[in-house]
Amino acid sequence: MQNAKSTKGETNCIGTILYVSGVIRKDEYLGTDSRRWRNRIVDKFLDKLVPINKPIEDSVLVIRDKHRKKRIEHMAIVTSMNPPTVYHRIGNNKKIVPNDSLDQVLKDYDEFTHKFYARSSSLKKSQ
């Protein structure tokens, strides 16, 4: 995973996670109004991953609206399981937190649904 840098441009958690995952070339805002979103870039990224029930290191956390299931509220990458931490941008144009508590992030978004996704290569490592 490459690290993103806080930039002066428009950024958000979704764009940051796609950037550090190597999907897009620049850490930038990626929202429902963007051309890339309409081209299903996030869906195509998640389609390459395997949904899992419990987090593992290097898995992607996706938090969605309970009522509008396609709306992604937040994304992060699990960086460690001991203790459970995530790498994420804490909001639009906000700072990146490289080792935030997974439990705290889930608590902050407790009114939303969440799911973890893993690369098949990560699944082999965790077994």
**1-6 long-range contacts, CB within 8 A, separation 24+:** 1/58, 1/77, 1/87, 3/96, 3/98, 4/89, 4/96, 5/96, 6/95, 6/96
Q: What is the pLDDT at residue 53?
A: 95
**What is the pTM assigned to this prediction?**
0.89
Q: What percent of the chain has pLDDT over 70?
A: 91
Q: What is the pLDDT of residues 32-55, one digit of tens each?
A: 777 777 788 999 999 999 999 999
Beta bridge partners of 61: 76, 116
* Domains of the chain with CATH codes: 13-126 (2.30.260)
